[in-house]
Amino acid sequence: MIKVSPRYCCTVLLAVVSSLILRSTASGGEISFIPAGNYAPFYTKEGSSSSEDKLIRVKAFLLDIHQVTNEEFRQFASSNEEWRRGNVSKLFADTHYLQHWGEEGKEFGPEEGNKPVVNVSWFAAQSYCESVGKRLPTTDEWEYVLNDMDRNKEAVHRAVMDWYAVPNRELPSLINRPKNGFGISDMVAVVWEWTNDFNNFMVRSDARDSGSKAAFCGGGSLNVTELDNYAAFMRYSYRSSLQGNFTGKNLGFRCAKDKE
């Protein structure tokens, strides 16, 4: 799909090699520098015709290497009363909020602590990121990092399909996970992740609606770049099924930050 000129490719590789691994100060996980670049989004802008038009420019930014963990979120919830299980408003998180933690006040073991936090709403995720001086990544940023300049594309796709094939797999501890070319771990195949603008894409609730902008039709789409990328279809339809207060057993998040 995306054709990257050799010159551009080299620039990116240099940027990757020199990418800084930062230790965040406030708490919140390790963060990695993501160089600016273009990627061909799964959805294209309406009316875009040339392949150049279809590319989206993503500015350089910083992204958490791994998802926010249970332990990290526990610290946040304990110092922010309104995000404790018993206190949270139903407007901001549904009844599954932090359900996997078991009873209120119960501590989870260190193994659980290093697993990604799930059952968190968009509001909770956003609030967490703010508390550590960050924000949720945009969908473009997130997809750009997953796209990873098309490195290991096949392997990523396979990992996603295999993930779907096994229901209720135990979540892994996020220590020493493999990283992609941007130095980021587990963009897929561990949990789904919130993005800041998860519901801004015009995926219709009926996936075959053909009438509107960027909508799917007939099981495919007129505005989709890769009709055989079922993994992307699933990601976009998953996001479009969400509302801000929804939580999910397979839904976590990581934070991003503007480059200063």
Partner 1 sequence: MKKLIGAFLGLAYLTLGYHAQAATADENEKEKIKGQEVAVITDAPNVPPPITRKFATKVLVNLEVKEQEARLADGVSYTFWTFGGKVPGKFIRIREGDLVEFHLNNHPDNKMPHNIDLHAVTGPGGGAASSLTAPGHSSVFSFKALNPGLYVYHCATAPVAMHVANGMYGLILVEPKEGMTKVDREYYVMQGDFYTQGKNGEQGLQPFSMSKAIDEKPDYVVFNGAAGSLTGENALQAKKGETVRLYVGVGGPNLTSSFHVIGEIFDTVYQEGHTSNPVKNVQTTLIPAGGASYMEFKVNVPGNYILVDHSLTRAFNKGALGMLKVVGDDNKLVYSGKTGDEVYLAEGASINANPDVKGSKAVAKNKDDRVKLGGNIYNTNCAACHQPSGAGIPQAFPPLAKSDYIAKDKAKAIKAVTGGLQGKLVVNGQEYNGVMPSWSLNDDEVANVLTYVYNNWGNSGLDVTPDDVKQHRVAASKNAAE
Residues that bind partner 1 (CB under 8 A): 94, 96, 99, 161-168, 192, 203-209, 216, 219, 221, 228, 230, 233-234, 236-238, 240-243, 246-251
Closer residue to partner 1, CB minimum distance, 182 or 233: 233
Q: What are 53's strand-pairing partners?
A: none
Q: Residues near 21 by Cβ (< 8 Å), separated by ≥ 6?
A: 30, 31, 32, 65, 183
From the CB of residue 259, how many other CB atoms can be counted at a distance below 10 Å?
A: 11
Closer residue to partner 1, CB minimum distance, 4 or 242: 242
Least separation in angstroms between residue 16's CB and partner 1 is: 29
Least separation in angstroms between residue 161's CB and partner 1 is: 6
Closer residue to partner 1, CB minimum distance, 76 or 233: 233
Q: What share of the chain is helix, strand, coil (3-state, %, to 5)?
A: 30, 15, 55
Q: Residues near 102 by Cβ (< 8 Å), separated by ≥ 6?
A: 108
Least separation in angstroms between residue 190's CB and partner 1 is: 11
Least separation in angstroms between residue 220's CB and partner 1 is: 8
Closer residue to partner 1, CB minimum distance, 13 or 207: 207
Torsion, Cα of 228, 248, 172, 196 (10° steps):
70
Joined tokens for residue 164: 């779907």
Closer residue to partner 1, CB minimum distance, 32 or 195: 195
Least separation in angstroms between residue 206's CB and partner 1 is: 3
